[in-house]
Structure formats: C-alpha cells, structure tokens
C-alpha cells in the first residue's frame, strides 16, 4: 500500500495547465419531464484518475454515470470522451463499462462463464477468451472459484466477479455505481483497497458513484460533491475536508460545528465574527475576502477544538464556557458534547492515543472550549 500512496500523492493532472481532460461534461442538463435531474453541470476527469461522485440520494449521481455510459442522452450540453463527442454513440461502442449496484451476474452461469460472456459476444477467439478469463480470475483472486455459480459465493466474491467481468473487455473507463453497497463494513474497507490496487494495476480511469463519504475520501483522487443536480465542489479529499468552499460542503462532509454570524472587524490577516446567538466572538485567519457587517459562516471540525478545565489565557475570542453533557467513546477517539452557556451544543473530539488518561474529563464537568485562529474555515457562500 505504501507505493500506492506515494504514487497517488504525485498524481495531480488537474493542477497541470497542459494536461488535457479525458472526460468532459460541458453544461450538461438532463430533464425527466419537468424534473431537472442534472442541472447545467460542467466537470472534467483525467486519464487514470479515481474520481468519486458523492451526494445524497436523488442528487443526480447515477444519472450522470448513465449518461457517460450511454444509457441516457443529455437533454442539452455535451459529453466528450478522449476528445470525441459521445452524442448518439450507443453504450457498446463507448470505451466505457459500467458495474451496477446489483452486480447483475447471470445466476445460471459459472464464475468463468460470467467473465467470458462479454468477450464471447464480441466474437473473441476461444483460446484468447480462456487466457483472458484466467488472467481476470488471477487479478481478482478467484482462481479456485472458477466453476462455482454466483449463489455459491459470498457477497465480496460476487462483487469481484462483477468487477472481473467489467474489466475483462479492457474498457478505458470503468463506471461503478455504489460498488461496495452490498458488503458489510469490514469487507467494504478491505475491498476499497483492493479496488484502488486494481485501478492502479490496470491503469484505468474509475468513476465511482457513492453516498458514503468515508468511501469516497479513502479511494478517490478527487471528489465531486453534488447537490440537486449541481456540482458544489470538486477537489481532493483533503481539500474538501479542510477547505470546503461553502456551508453546504462543510456541513455535508464529516462532522462540523457551524456558526452563523456577522463580521465585526477586518484587520490585515484576521477577521472577527460576532455570533450573538452563541455568545461568542470568533477570530479567524482571513482566508476569504469579506467586509464588516457581512453575514458569514464559520465551520470548525470537532478535532480542532480544545477542551480544558483551566480558563484559557484569552477568553475574549475563540473561547466559551460550558458543561460537558455527553461523551461518546469510539475506541480510537472520543467525542465530547459541550453545552455552552448560550445553550448551543459544541462537538469536540480527541484521539485516544494513550491508554490511560489521568483525571479524564467526565460528565457534568465544567469546561472551556477554545481554538486557534487557523482552526476553522470562514465561509462566505
């Protein structure tokens, strides 16, 4: 996995002005009757990228994927694949293959039969099919299961058969609609790394639809966060988490404490935000332009908040007093819920890196919440 990580860190064609996108959605709209499922959406994806479409149910992710595969045509706008306009090109003539949520394996065929099916349809000679199927079985580590039928396999094994069947035809782009949806949590986590490994080995472009943000964060090079047929932000997992571009994305990804306030003063490099509802003044690094009197949001992740019994040196900004009213222990980390004097609940998290903690914080303790000026994100959208 180490080499995978170091390769991925270097892979960033979206930052290279010379790099040409492999897939482009240009002002794509898809309507079903009066309903707009995809709304004037533009997006580019690069060759060999692991790209995730992330959003709540009904936001248009699958529709986008189905248009790329050729099962739906855009109502307006166009989709380019390797520079070629895809309008009117049927699914089987596109260099794209799609793996469905249900895997859609043929129940009466063996694992081999399922993998060979598309190759037979394409008229590939029998000896080449046999060689390709053997290669695919090895790739997904199912050599011993070649003669089994789908019902004699576990969920994870079925998922691998579906994957092998999709990549057997050597598509340039693999589209995966909730590929791990049918697997339990532990198997999902293992399979995420297998998928990443497979994508790297094959050098394919993967476009994955998921509503599971942890899955998208783990696997993808970049994530498009979608809402109501629009893309809200396209960025790397770290950027989406650390530098969300809007209240929507900050709120959608991970856990966050969101404050709504008014800018009181702007001094070079810093912005003060009055949050009267929560009786707190927030001082944050001025990462976005704003002016005194402007309504803004401020988002801060639970792990960026400190809790202490001792009063911080400066309580005028970024500090509030409250009562610890709930503690959720997750093994690796603990999440504390603090009720401020204003009534507002703040979430703070700390890693349980040491096994025993002397005098740990407990229920009903009175604590100070505080954070640094670079701990959160100023949001103007």
Interacting residues with ligand ATP (CB under 6 A): 32, 35, 37, 55, 57-63, 211
Q: DSSP string covering 337-363, please?
A: EEEETTS-EEEEEEE--SS--SS---T
Q: In angstroms, give the least distance from the CB of 91 to ligand ATP.
A: 16
The gap between the terminal CA atoms of the chain, to the nearest Å, is: 38
CA atoms within 13 A on the CB side of 155: 14
Report the distance separating Cα 179 and Cα 161, nearest Å: 12
What number of helices (H) and strands (E) belong to the chain? 9, 20
Question: Which residue number, 207 or 271, has a Cβ lying nearer to ligand ATP?
Answer: 207
Question: Which residue number, 61 or 188, has a Cβ lying nearer to ligand ATP?
Answer: 61
Q: In angstroms, give the least distance from the CB of 218 to ligand ATP.
A: 18
Report the relative pairing of strands 280-285 and 319-329 from DSSP bridges: unpaired
Question: Which residue number, 35 or 363, has a Cβ lying nearer to ligand ATP?
Answer: 35
Report the distance separating Cα 46 and Cα 14, nearest Å: 7
Torsion sign over Cα 108, 71, 47, 12:
negative
Q: In angstroms, give the least distance from the CB of 204 to ligand ATP.
A: 22
Question: Which residue number, 40 or 143, has a Cβ lying nearer to ligand ATP?
Answer: 40
Q: Name residues whose C-beta falls within 8 Å of residue 1's C-beta, 6 or more positions apart in sequence.
A: 193, 197
Question: Which residue number, 21 or 55, has a Cβ lying nearer to ligand ATP?
Answer: 55
Q: In angstroms, give the least distance from the CB of 32 to ligand ATP.
A: 3
Question: Which residue number, 56 or 292, has a Cβ lying nearer to ligand ATP?
Answer: 56
Q: Name residues whose C-beta falls within 8 Å of residue 30's C-beta, 6 or more positions apart in sequence.
A: 36, 37, 38, 60, 63, 64, 67, 72, 74, 75, 229
Question: Which residue number, 59 or 207, has a Cβ lying nearer to ligand ATP?
Answer: 59
**What Cα–Cα distance (Å) separates residue 233 from each residue in 183, 260, 286, 381?**
28, 21, 20, 12
């Amino acid at each position: 996995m180490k080499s995978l990580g170091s390769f991925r860190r270097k892979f960033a064609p979206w930052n290279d002005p010379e790099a040409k996108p492999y897939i482009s959605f240009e002002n794509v709209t898809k309507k079903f009757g009066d309903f707009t499922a995809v709304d004037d959406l533009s997006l580019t994806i690069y060759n060999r990228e692991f790209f995730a479409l992330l959003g709540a149910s009904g936001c248009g992710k699958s529709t986008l994927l189905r248009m790329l595969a050729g099962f739906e045509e855009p109502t307006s706008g166009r989709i380019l694949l390797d520079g070629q306009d895809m309008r009117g090109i049927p699914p089987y003539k596109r260099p794209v293959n799609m793996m469905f949520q249900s895997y859609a394996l043929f129940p009466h065929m063996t694992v081999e039969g399922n993998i060979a099916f598309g190759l037979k349809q394409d008229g590939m000679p029998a000896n080449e099919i046999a060689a390709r199927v053997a290669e695919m079985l090895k790739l997904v580590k199912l050599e011993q299961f070649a003669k089994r039928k789908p019902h004699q396999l576990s969920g994870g094994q079925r998922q691998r058969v579906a994957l092998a069947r999709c990549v057997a035809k050597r598509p340039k782009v693999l589209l995966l609609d909730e590929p791990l949806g049918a697997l339990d949590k532990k198997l999902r986590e293992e399979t995420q790394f297998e998928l990443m490994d497979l994508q790297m080995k094959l050098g394919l472009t993967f476009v994955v639809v998921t509503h599971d943000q942890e899955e998208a964060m783990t696997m993808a090079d970049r994530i498009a966060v979608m809402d109501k047929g629009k893309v809200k932000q396209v960025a790397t997992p770290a950027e989406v988490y650390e530098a969300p571009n809007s209240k929507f994305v900050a709120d959608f990804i991970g856990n966050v404490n969101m404050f709504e306030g008014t800018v009181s003063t702007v001094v070079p490099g810093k912005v003060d935000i009055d949050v009267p509802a929560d009786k707190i003044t927030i001082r944050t690094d001025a990462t976005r332009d704003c002016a005194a009197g402007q309504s803004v949001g401020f988002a801060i992740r639970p792990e960026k908040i400190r809790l202490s019994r001792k009063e911080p040196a400066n309580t005028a900004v970024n500090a509030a007093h409250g009562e610890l009213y709930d503690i959720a222990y997750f093994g690796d980390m603990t999440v504390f819920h603090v009720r401020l004097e204003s009534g507002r609940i703040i979430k703070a998290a700390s890693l349980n890196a040491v096994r025993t903690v002397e005098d740990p914080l407990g229920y009903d303790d009175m604590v100070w919440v505080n954070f640094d000026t670079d701990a959160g994100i100023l949001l103007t959208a």
